[in-house]
């Protein structure tokens, strides 16, 4: 079987787990080579392009397609992964209410040099960055950078959530992740953060991104948070398009 599949990668699973889930439900692909073109973090969801059979020979074409994302983020807290599946490394109870986030985001439009997030699969001297990060060895290297392009970045909306609501969302999300991602330590760190923060409410900002291949939403949010001076992290990432493959057409559930 040769095919290009548009699979909905669920929140909390890895691309490999999403691919295996599809294969279990579809015996017609048994024995066929299946790889995904463009990974998604465990906390991200949405369009995952999976190549079957001879289509794997065109993997470079599919990984190079333009992409679109919708993402949420909060100010005043940062983790070592730049999303909620990480240990809190920075926090502030004082967050400017008039931060010009739209302008801050727009600074990253166009072609820029973007660092790879410390917790990513980028290989340096034969070792993925996330392994160096876990071993505390990032200080011995300079984080690599790459050229990426953001066609457009737009702040879409804001909404307020209570401290308890955000805590529940984060803890429940982290608990859904399967595999070794330091979940127990991360949940303890979040519990500690929420027990000490003085903030009764948090503002969640929603934005939309159209970009070329290789762009990291987590890194964008972290960079913007540092520009503003408060720190920031993503709470939700949805990939809504890869080339001609759209979210509305994604195969969901066991399909």
pLDDT in the model for residue 253: 67
Residues of the chain with pLDDT under 70: 253-255
Tens-place pLDDT, residues 19-49: 999 999 999 998 899 999 999 999 999 999 9
Average pLDDT of the residues of the chain: 95
The parent domain of residue 17 ranges over: 3-64
Residues 221 and 185 in one domain: yes
Read off the CATH number of the domain in which 203 is found: 3.30.2350.10
**Catalytic annotation on 41?**
yes
Among 99, 125, 130, 158, residue whose Cα is nearest residue 218: 130
Residue 250 lies in a domain: no
pLDDT in the model for residue 94: 85
Tens-place pLDDT, residues 202-246: 999 999 999 999 999 999 999 999 999 999 999 999 999 999 999
Residues 219 and 96 in one domain: yes
- Please tell me whether residue 118 adopts helix, strand or coil conformation: coil
Residue 28: how many other CB atoms lie within 10 Å: 10
pLDDT in the model for residue 30: 86
> In angstroms, how far apart are the furthest CA atoms of the chain?
57
CA distance 136 to 87: 13
pLDDT in the model for residue 249: 97
- Among residues 41, 72, 80, 223, the one annotated as catalytic is 41
Residues 75 and 140 in one domain: yes
Among 155, 161, 144, residue whose Cα is nearest residue 228: 155
């Amino acid at each position: 079987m040769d095919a290009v599949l548009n699979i909905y990668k669920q929140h909390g699973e890895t691309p490999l787990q999403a691919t295996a889930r599809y294969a279990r439900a579809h015996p017609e692909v048994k024995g066929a080579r299946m790889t995904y073109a463009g990974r998604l973090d465990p906390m991200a969801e949405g369009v995952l392009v999976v190549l079957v059979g001879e289509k794997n020979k065109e993997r470079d074409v599919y990984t190079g397609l333009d992409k679109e994302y919708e993402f949420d983020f909060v100010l005043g807290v940062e983790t070592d992964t730049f999303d909620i599946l990480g240990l809190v490394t920075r926090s502030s109870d004082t967050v400017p209410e008039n931060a010009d986030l739209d302008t801050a985001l727009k600074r990253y439009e166009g072609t820029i040099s973007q660092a790879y997030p410390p917790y990513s699969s980028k290989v340096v001297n034969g070792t993925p960055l996330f392994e160096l990060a876990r071993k505390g060895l990032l200080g011995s290297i300079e984080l690599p950078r790459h050229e990426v392009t953001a066609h457009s970045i737009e702040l879409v909306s804001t909404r307020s959530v209570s401290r308890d609501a955000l805590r529940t969302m984060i803890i429940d999300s982290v608990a859904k992740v399967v595999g070794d991602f330091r979940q127990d330590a991360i949940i303890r760190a979040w519990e500690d953060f929420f027990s000490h923060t003085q903030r009764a409410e948090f503002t969640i900002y929603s934005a939309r991104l159209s970009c070329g291949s290789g762009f990291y939403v987590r890194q964008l949010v972290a960079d913007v948070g540092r520009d503003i001076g408060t720190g920031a992290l993503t709470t939700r990432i949805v990939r809504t398009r890869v080339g001609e493959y759209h979210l509305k057409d994604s195969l969901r559930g066991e399909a």
